[in-house]
Chains A and B, each alone.
Chain A
Amino acid sequence: MAVLLIAEISDGELSMDATAKAVAAAKALGDVTVLAAGSSAAAAGEAASKIDGVSKVLVAEDPMLGHRLAEATAALIVSLAGDYEHIVAPATTDAKNVMPRVAALLDVMVISDASGVVDADTFERPIYAGNAVQTVKSNDAKKVITFRTSTFDAAGEGGSASVETISAAENPGLSTWVEDKVAESDRPELTSAGVVVSGGRGVGSEEDFALIEKLADKLGAAVGASRAAVDSGYAPNDWQVGQTGKVVAPDLYVAVGISGAIQHLAGMKDSKIIVAINKDEESPIFQVADYGLVADLFDAVPELIEKL
């Protein structure tokens, strides 16, 4: 049994956390070959070759693979698919864009956001915003899977897989990249951070969201937001934690002014320790919090920043 794992790469750099977590999930399925594809991918391929459990790395460098455009990336993966029973990737927005396309081209169903591996055909995945967990058994000859990284521990480093260079498939020429608007930040990345501080509608404005950021910086944390806060324009969408945003499982999650809608809980309830600060003691967030503080966030958060 052989597994092709699509490495998560942005701007030529390997996202070690997401890729190593997917490797941990995929190891149980068979020999793992990592595909590092991009306009520049050699360094990322080299980094991936050191992940424990990786037996081989394929590096495909081509300008048309830059920015992970779906059509060209899917064409490359499909051209390699013949040798593998499982084609997998961490469930990032890039993979969610590409993998269903790959599955349809192979005439198989995609298994999105798998949170558990039962056996080579059988996987667990959350449905209904995490309100139910379904076990599904694939009847397809090939399995195309994205793994929800928050439920797997990253594979360690220390491997020394061989690295081979391959060429890209034909360019379908259907799309071109225009620009990226990536927020520059010194904070840790949201999905891999050890501590996350999130603000909700209770924060009240974009200006006051600075208070959430200040607490995050004090804790060396990533900043998150509830969908309500994003919808209200207090925070950018790439900070959104929840069913329609990112799923996180840090060691410490601090929810400030967040009521705890089901859709938000779906994105953070696997966190090790949850702290909730909210002035409404009836808020559902307190039902999942390890430590709840019923207080006005504008009093409690500055005090917390001072005392930490």
Chain B
Amino acid sequence: MKVLVPVKRVIDYNVKVRVKADGTGVDLANVKMSMNPFDEIAVEQAIRLKEAGQAEEIVAVSIGVKQAQETLRTALAMGADRAILVVASDDVHKDIEPLAVAKILKAIVDEEQPGLVLCGKQAIDNDMNATGQMLSALMGWSQATFASEIAIEGDKAKVTREVDGGLQTIEVTMPTVVTVDLRLNEPRYASLPNIMKAKKKPLDEKTAEDYGVDVSNRLEIVKTVEPAERAAGIKVGSVDELVAKLKEVGAV
């Protein structure tokens, strides 16, 4: 079985984001960028499937600016076998919407015929939580979102999902799209020899036009603002004082 793993280049999760003065978005020029943390979990899971003999080949895909090549090299260094870069913009500030990403991924899935697509459940930049579900819809496949456990048995996958009340286990027909949640695994770090080896692994470069997909936005950005600041309150010196304050404002 071939496994396809889409990965996104996003602002590093440790970086404090700053809204651009013109309100068009968040400043991404000259800030540290990394692989979306949920996508790292997806790459890790694909590698574990390969190590368990359930997958033969792992193809990592990234759609965005040319610099997403670095994100793909990270996936290759972790253990993906080859990569496809789809350049869909030359502006680092343009976020390709999940619907357009899903359409490009569909074209790649049609070509590559993977048995499984493993995605992160959401990207930590636009927080949309949509690409996996949209790809599954366009393919007419089953979907299993927010996975914390995946077991593949023949042409079915048993997936445990993180849902509001607790956990839900479902069985889906393969091929399928699984989006992964935090507790599925802990991604490995790429070792230096593997980082060196990754430089020699194949990386195909394509464009959105190659797949005939229009990447213009459906959602027009009107403005972007900093959230309302919450002012710090006071420090209390003791539990007694805390209880008194809470009683004073009627909170307890």
A and B co-occur in one complex: yes
Contacting A at CB under 8 A, from B67-102, are: 97-99, 102
Q: Does A298 contact B (CB under 8 A)?
A: no
Q: Does A287 contact B (CB under 8 A)?
A: yes
C-beta contact mask, B46-85 vs A, less than 8 Å → 1, else 0?
0000000000000000000000000000000000000000
Chain B residues with CB below 8 A from A21, complex form: none
A224 to B202, CA, bound (A): 45
Chain A residues with CB below 8 A from B165, complex form: 10, 180, 182-183, 238
Asked if B219 contacts A138 (CB within 8 A), the reply is yes
22 sample A-B contacts, Cβ–Cβ < 8 Å, listed by A number? A94-B163, A96-B129, A110-B98, A125-B127, A128-B124, A132-B25, A136-B222, A139-B217, A174-B142, A178-B158, A183-B166, A237-B162, A237-B182, A243-B127, A288-B230, A289-B233, A291-B234, A300-B239, A304-B242, A307-B240, A308-B243, A308-B252
Chain B residues with CB below 8 A from A177, complex form: 168-170
Asked if A113 contacts B166 (CB within 8 A), the reply is no
Asked if B17 contacts A136 (CB within 8 A), the reply is no
C-beta contact mask, B132-149 vs A, less than 8 Å → 1, else 0?
011111101111111010
Interface residues on B, range: 35 or more
Q: Does B227 contact A (CB under 8 A)?
A: yes
Q: Does A244 contact B (CB under 8 A)?
A: yes
Contacting B at CB under 8 A, from A256-308, are: 262-263, 269, 273-275, 281, 286-295, 300, 303-304, 307-308
Contacting B at CB under 8 A, from A42-84, are: 67, 69-71, 74
Contact of B148 among A219, A237, A273, A275 (CB under 8 A): A237
19 A-B pairs besides A109-B218, A132-B19, A181-B166 with CB distance below 8 A are: A92-B164, A100-B131, A100-B134, A100-B137, A109-B99, A127-B125, A128-B11, A128-B17, A128-B124, A180-B167, A181-B169, A230-B182, A238-B167, A252-B251, A274-B230, A281-B235, A287-B230, A293-B242, A295-B239
Q: Which of B127, B146, B230 has the most CB of A within 10 A?
A: B127
Q: Does B152 contact A (CB under 8 A)?
A: no
A147 to B223, CA, bound (A): 19
Chain A residues with CB below 8 A from B246, complex form: 252, 273, 275, 291
Chain B residues with CB below 8 A from A178, complex form: 158, 169-171
Q: Does A134 contact B (CB under 8 A)?
A: yes
Q: Does B194 contact A (CB under 8 A)?
A: no
Q: What residue in chain B is nearest A191 (Cβ atoms)? A: B164
**Shortest Cβ distance from A290 into chain B, in angstroms?**
4
Q: Does A111 contact B (CB under 8 A)?
A: yes
Q: Interface on B for A, CB 8 Å cutoff?
A: 11, 13, 16-17, 19, 25-26, 97-99, 102, 122, 124-131, 133-138, 140-146, 148, 158, 161-173, 181-183, 217-227, 230, 232-236, 238-240, 242-243, 245-246, 249, 251-252
Asked if B167 contacts A181 (CB within 8 A), the reply is yes
A244 to B11, CA, bound (A): 16
Chain B residues with CB below 8 A from A244, complex form: 122, 181-182
Q: Does A135 contact B (CB under 8 A)?
A: yes
A129-B124 contact given A135-B223, A181-B167, A219-B252, CB 8 Å threshold: yes
Asked if A182 contacts B235 (CB within 8 A), the reply is no
Number of interface residues of A (CB under 8 A): 91
Q: Does A188 contact B (CB under 8 A)?
A: no
Q: What residue in chain B is nearest A8 (Cβ atoms)? A: B164
Q: Does A101 contact B (CB under 8 A)?
A: yes
Q: What residue in chain A is nearest B164 (Cβ atoms)? A: A93
Chain A residues with CB below 8 A from B173, complex form: 173-175
Q: Does A108 contact B (CB under 8 A)?
A: yes
Contact of A292 among B126, B145, B172, B233 (CB under 8 A): B233
Asked if A97 contacts B145 (CB within 8 A), the reply is yes
A92 to B145, CA, bound (A): 13
Asked if A104 contacts B138 (CB within 8 A), the reply is yes
Q: What residue in chain A is nearest B242 (Cβ atoms)? A: A293
Chain B residues with CB below 8 A from A289, complex form: 232-233
Asked if B242 contacts A128 (CB within 8 A), the reply is no
Q: What residue in chain B is nearest A78 (Cβ atoms)? A: B137
Q: What residue in chain B is nearest A10 (Cβ atoms)? A: B165
Q: What residue in chain A is nearest B132 (Cβ atoms)? A: A100
Contact of B127 among A100, A113, A135, A273 (CB under 8 A): A113
**Shortest Cβ distance from B120 into chain A, in angstroms?**
11
Chain A residues with CB below 8 A from B252, complex form: 219, 252, 308
Chain A residues with CB below 8 A from B167, complex form: 180-182, 238
Contact of B223 among A101, A107, A134, A275 (CB under 8 A): A134
